């Protein structure tokens, strides 16, 4: 398995860079993963990541994009409740990139 070297530990990730053991996730690790991609996390990024993590804790899967969009619109104002805004925050797509930083597994199947 590939891994991320962080905090003196090896954190196991899959071929696409998703954390294998979800308990390995910490805020610091997320920040490190983001910095490896040449980005930094703003409050808006954290808003998305925290929502993803809360949703996952409740439902055991990442939310549908439209649920994420609606939630962000509710919290951050209707002008931000759209996929365009989410793509500005996470250029590789909220489903892929934000889930990776949030330590969520990638959904599989007919998706």
Residue positions annotated with a catalytic role:
110
- Distances, alpha carbon 17 to alpha carbons 3, 35, 78, 103, 109, in Å: 8, 14, 32, 10, 19
Q: Rule CB under 8 A: is residue 107 a binding residue for other proteins?
A: yes
- Distances, alpha carbon 57 to alpha carbons 4, 50, 53, in Å: 23, 11, 6
Query: Is-contact 86 68, C-beta < 8 A?
Result: yes
Q: How far apart are CA 111 and CA 30, in angstroms?
A: 25
Stretch that binds other proteins, among 11-19, 26-34, 38-46 (CB under 8 A): 11-19
- CA angle at 31 for the pair 27 and 37, rounded to the nearest 5°: 150
Q: Which residues in 17-56 contact other proteins (CB under 8 A)?
A: none
Q: Rule CB under 8 A: is residue 82 a binding residue for other proteins?
A: yes
Q: Which of 29, 33, 69, 104 binds other proteins (CB under 8 A)?
A: 69
Q: Rule CB under 8 A: is residue 57 a binding residue for other proteins?
A: no
Closest contact distance (angstroms) between CB of 16 and other proteins is 7
Q: Rule CB under 8 A: is residue 65 a binding residue for other proteins?
A: yes
Positions in the binding site for other proteins (CB under 8 A): 1, 14-16, 59-61, 64-67, 69, 81-84, 93, 96, 107-111
């Amino acid at each position: 398995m590939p891994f991320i070297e962080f905090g003196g530990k090896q954190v196991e990730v899959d071929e696409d860079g998703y954390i294998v053991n979800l308990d390995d996730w910490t805020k610091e690790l997320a920040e490190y993963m983001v910095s490896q991609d040449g980005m930094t996390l703003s409050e808006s990024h954290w808003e998305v990541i925290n929502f993803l993590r809360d949703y996952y804790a409740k439902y055991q899967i990442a939310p549908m994009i439209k649920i994420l969009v609606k939630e962000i619109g509710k919290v951050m104002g209707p002008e931000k409740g759209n996929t365009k805004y989410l793509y500005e925050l996470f250029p590789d797509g909220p489903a892929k990139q934000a889930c990776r930083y949030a330590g969520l597994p990638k959904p599989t199947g007919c998706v």
